[in-house]
Each structure stands twice: as structure tokens, then as C-alpha cells.
Amino acid sequence: MVNQELTDIGFTHEDFAALLDKYDYHFSPGDIVAGTVFSIEPRGALIDIGAKTAAYIPIQEMSINRIDTPEEVLQSNETREFFILTDENEDGQLTLSIRRIEYMRAWERVRQLQAEDATVRSAVFATNRGGALVRIEGLRGFIPGSHISTRKPKEDLVGEDLPLKFLEVDEDRNRLVLSHRRALVERKMNRLEVGEVVIGTVRGLKPYGAFIDIGGVSGLLHISEISHDHIDTPHSVFNVNDEVKVMIIDLDAERGRISLSTKQLEPEPGDMVKNPQVVYDKAEEMAAKYRERMLQQSQPKAAVEEEVLDEELDIPSAMEEAEEPVDVDMSIDEDALVDVDALVEVDESVDGVDSVDEVELESEHKLEA
């Protein structure tokens, strides 16, 4: 009886298929669509996005973080956004991803944080021969060893929460590089002033100067700023672990550099070579005179015709790899995944060097040689 009625109205299976084709949506990889979860499986889920065949999302594409079960992310009948990862397979089924949406939004967020010059905090979850790994907004970030400001072995940093500044945010190359040292230098710089006398410890000696630890950050006492007298090598004046008094002569927050001087503290030229204790005893007095000179030099000078002259003052993949391959043609650009080892190789050239200043200055002096 029912079949007779269907025949009478003249509506065939071919007509029905044609009607579906007429109202079918066309989906392309890269589209973001709304979908409803209608079946959760052990290693994935079926999603209704309005296509003729239910789309599939494997567990590896459900989150930017590693998960053990789909239920950690999805619930039955839940409606949310999905990224179309691959075109239809031979069964007409699309492959979806939530992970890709989260990555896009994470990159957008870290770009915003970098633009704001924000300091972020994250716990170290692993280390390698070149540095340490952290997660920022779900992305995997790399801290080069030369940008880790601590005397601890890198292995002991796992689980430690560090303040960090952004060095490089490059979504195209999937490079997210951060600096612990720069965050500490910035925080320290907020409490330091040019012309201030500080007590520090000699942590390293190079042909071009001494690196002084002042409260956990490193400053450079260049060889030209040790004394008015000529010095062949900083080793002739200092030893590692010497406690010294130095004056801050420049603070470069952008590059994370602190420049120091004992030359400006000498009561008489050559005192740092002949009798350093005299320099330390009169350090505050000489620093006060230095600040006074700098203040006078910064004030505008009136010309004869009462005109004011204006003087012109002359740095591993951010994306986590899926736990196991998806049994479909994912068409993912593997070249887009961050190669942390490549980042390590970049930093190996400075492995063992104690500070950002040392890295940059080592390069400069090699070029000069």
C-alpha cells in the first residue's frame, strides 16, 4: 500500500538523490564549520556537519594537548566548531580537527602577548642538549641554554615555573623561542638606575671584559671601562669569584644588556690597576660626581643668540605531533612542524656561554679576529 502511494506520487530514489545533491553543501579543507557529535568511538568520533556522510575526527585531532579518551573533549549531542582537515575519502567522509583551530587561536594569542611585550610564566616540562621546553597557550616553546639564567643543571629545571619574554614568534616556521634571562634582566632593570653603584661577583673573564653577576643577572664590564690606564687583559685585574664594586653606565632593556664601569669610579687614573680598594672605598663619592656631570651634559645649552641647540643622540616544534598516525590522508604539511633540534643546532654554537651578552660579543670579536 505504501509502495503504491510512493509510486503514485512519482518520487523515485533517483529523485531523492538528485534532491540531496541540489541542497548539499560543498566543504573544502581549511573551512571551519559547525558540527554536532552524534557518536563517540574509542579512538575518535562521528560528527554531523550537514554532509551526506558523517565526518570523522580522530582522537589525535581533538585537542592541542595530549588526551587519552575522546570524552575528555567531546560530549554526545554537543555542537561546536570543527576545522576540515582533509577532503572526502573514497567513502565520501571528511576528516575534522579541533586541534588546528586551537593552534590558530594560540598563535594569535602569543602574537598579541609579544606585541604587548608581556612577561609570561610557564613550567619546564623537558630539557635537551640545547635548552628547555615549555608550553605557552598550548604551543611548545623553546628556551635556548644561553637564555636560561640559573646555576642549576638544566635537568633540575623540569617542573620549575619560570618568567619568560618572547624572543621569536614565527607561525610560518613554527618557531616559538623565549628567554628566561631577558625576563629577569627586565625585572632587575626596573630597580636599577644609570649612575648607581652595585656590588657584584665576577662570573666570567673574556679577552674583551668581565661578566659581573649583580643580583642574579649578568652585566658586562668592558675592558675599556676597567681603568683609565691601558689593560692587556681583564685577567690582570680580576679573578673569577672576586667581589667588586661597579657603576651602571647603561641599561638596554630591549637587548637585555647592562653595561658597567670601574673606570668612572677611579679617584686617580690607574687606581683600579694599582690599588682597587681605593676605588671601592670612594665608589659612592665618585659615582655622585659622575651623575652630576651627566646631569649637566643633558641640560640644553643656550647659544649666544639665545637659541637652544637640539643634539641628536647618536635571536622544537611549537606544534605537538600527534600520538599516532591517522588512518586517512591527512594532507598535513609536515614541513610546517617545528624542528626543535634545528633550534638546538642554532644554539649549540653558544653552548656553555653564560649570558646573552657573551653570545653576541663572542660573535663580534670572532669577526674582528
Report pLDDT digits (tens) over 30-61: 888 999 998 999 999 999 988 777 899 999 99
Cα separation, 211 vs 221, in Å, equals: 6
Domain boundaries defined on the chain: 2-97, 117-186+315-355, 192-298
Which pLDDT tens digit goes with each residue over 285-320? Answer: 999 999 888 888 876 554 444 444 344 444 466 766
Fold exhibited by the domain 117-186+315-355: OB fold (Dihydrolipoamide Acetyltransferase, E2P) (2.40.50)
Residue 280 CA to residue 272 CA, distance in Å, equals 9
- Which of 1-15, 211-225, 243-257 has the lowest average pLDDT? 1-15
DSSP, collapsed to helix, strand or coil, labels residue 344 as helix
Per the prediction, the chain carries an average pLDDT of 80
Which of 3.40.30.10, 2.30.110.10, 2.40.50.140, 2.10.70.10 would CATH assign to domain 2-97? 2.40.50.140
pLDDT reading at 364 higher than 80: no
Q: What is the DSSP letter of 3?
A: H
Residue 349 — pLDDT band, cuts 50, 70, 90?
A: very low
Pairing of strands 217-222, 257-261: parallel
The domain covering 192-298 belongs, at the CATH homologous superfamily level, to Nucleic acid-binding proteins (2.40.50.140)
- State how far the Cα of 252 lies from the Cα of 188, in Å rounded to an integer: 12
Phi/psi of residue 87, nearest 5 degrees: -70, 175
Residue owning grid cell 674583551: 208
Label residue 70 left, alpha or beta by phi (over 0 means left) and psi (-120 to 50 means alpha). alpha
Same fold, 2-97 and 192-298: yes
Q: By the 8 A CB rule, do 244 and 200 touch?
A: yes
